[in-house]
Amino acid sequence: MDNDCLFCRIVAGEIPATVVHETATTLAFRDIDPKAPVHVLVIPKAHHGDVLALARDPQAAAEVLAASAEVAQAEGLTADGFRLIFNTGRHSGQEVFHVHAHVLGGRPLGPMVSG
């Protein structure tokens, strides 16, 4: 655990979150500032800074992907579709440096990128 990491502190229970799915190695909780009717963040409990770091741990990567699919199913997103996003680095606007998959859906999501 990284004591300076917001999402590590959510995993540790030090900061509250609305948890919607949990496994031994992953946690999923609602985004505090949702950009769509469903906006859930799926994280590995272990600290990985971004998706590049996560990719170096294939088991953890697979677990995050599987948890994301289960969240999409549980949130009723699989019939109409959804978006799975890993913001990574400066150009993406990544704000929290504990890797997280954004699961977004519940309405048509528009173009993949703006501007």
* Residues at the site binding ligand AMP, with contacts judged by CB under 6 A: 6, 15, 17, 29, 31-33, 41, 87, 93-96
Q: Which is nearer to ligand AMP, 79 or 107 (CB)?
A: 107
CB of 56 to ligand AMP, least distance (A): 19
| Closest CA relative to residue 82, chosen from 40, 31, 52, 27 | 40
CB of 105 to ligand AMP, least distance (A): 15
Q: Which two tokens stand for residue 46?
A: 């272990």
CB of 84 to ligand AMP, least distance (A): 12
39 catalytic residue (yes or no): no
| Residue 69, phi then psi, degrees to nearest 5 | -65, -40
Q: Which two tokens stand for residue 9?
A: 């502190």
The answer to whether the Cα torsion of 96, 98, 99, 101 is positive or negative is negative
Q: Which is nearer to ligand AMP, 42 or 72 (CB)?
A: 42
Calpha distance 90→86 (Å, rounded)? 12
Which one is catalytic: 21, 48, 100, 102?
100
Q: Which is nearer to ligand AMP, 31 or 70 (CB)?
A: 31
CB 65 within 8 A of CB 82: no
Any idea which residues carry the catalytic annotation?
100
